Amino acid sequence: KYTIGILGMQGATAEHANHLHHLGHDAILIKNKEQLEDVDGLIIPGGESTSIWHLMKQNNLIEAVQSFAQLKKPIFGTCAGLVLLATDEPGMEDPVKLGLMDIQVTRNGFGRQKDSFEAALDVKDMTTSYPAVFIRAPYIETAGEDVAILATYDDKIVAAREGNLLAAAFHPELTDDNRFLELFLSMVEEQSVSAVS
Ligand code: GLN
């Protein structure tokens, strides 16, 4: 049983907590950096990435989340959370990204007609398709060589992993299919095993 933090600045937090409880884990809504010391992993939910960024800044959570990642603790960014895990184009003066994953993203990448939609994705290591709910979703434009691509849609990368970091362009908390959450929890387990050994 693990304690998972859900970044509680803005956005879709409650459904993530429900799924964690359903799988027998504890969830804490993270509002300040002290709370990060109590969690085994962190979910950065969907919402509006610029708002989440500014609220993180006001609450001194930017460096705190970066340090959390440097400790190799797992982070799962979904939708706006994926945007925040990414790295800005070089030369950007006022960063609005945590710069943790070696990916560059296009926000709202699927255009207006496809504001929100569901798609059956073929995902690496999943034997049946995964029902992904996309809402004004970003996609991953470029990924560094250490990034494992887990799924694409319309030839665009929509799920990826780099070490302790997992990113999904869709909203895994809006389906009862918990395979992405379970993948994240397996990363938390791997990390807690390697931390004691
Ligand atoms: N379009 C939003 C953003 O870039 C993300 C949307 C979402 O999280 N559902 O911040």
**49 in a known ligand binding site:** yes
- Strand-pairing partners, residue 4, are 27, 41
How far is 142 from 85, CA to CA, in rounded Å? 13
Choosing from 79, 93, 118, 189, the catalytic residue is 79
Q: With a 6 A CB cut-off, is 33 part of the ligand 1 pocket?
A: no
**91 in a known ligand binding site:** no
Give the position, in ligand 1's atom list, of the atom nearest the Cα of 108. Answer: 1
- pLDDT digits 0-9 by tens, 91-139: 777 778 999 999 999 999 998 767 899 999 999 999 999 999 999 999 9
Choosing from 16, 19, 25, 173, the catalytic residue is 173
Q: What is the pLDDT of residue 115?
A: 86
How far is 118 from 166, CA to CA, in rounded Å? 20
Out of 15, 16, 49, 174, give the residue to mutate to test ligand 1, the one with the largest number of ligand atoms within 8 Å of its CB. 49
Q: What is the pLDDT of residue 194?
A: 81
C-alpha 147: how far from its chain's center? 14
Q: What is the pLDDT of residue 15?
A: 96
Q: What is the ipTM of this complex?
A: 0.94
Cβ of 102: how many Cβ atoms within 10 Å?
A: 18
Closest CA to 179 of 192, 190, 166: 166
Instruction: Spell out the residues 6+ positions from residue 93 whose beta carbon is closer than 8 angstroms to its own.
Output: none
Which residues does the chain have with pLDDT short of 70?
Answer: 113, 196-197
How far is 130 from 68, CA to CA, in rounded Å? 29
Q: What is the pLDDT of residue 90?
A: 76
What kind and span of H or E run contains 103? strand 103-106
Determine contact, residues 74/165, Cβ cutoff 8 Å. yes
Q: What is the pLDDT of residue 113?
A: 65
Structural domains in the chain, CATH included, are: 3-196 (3.40.50.880)
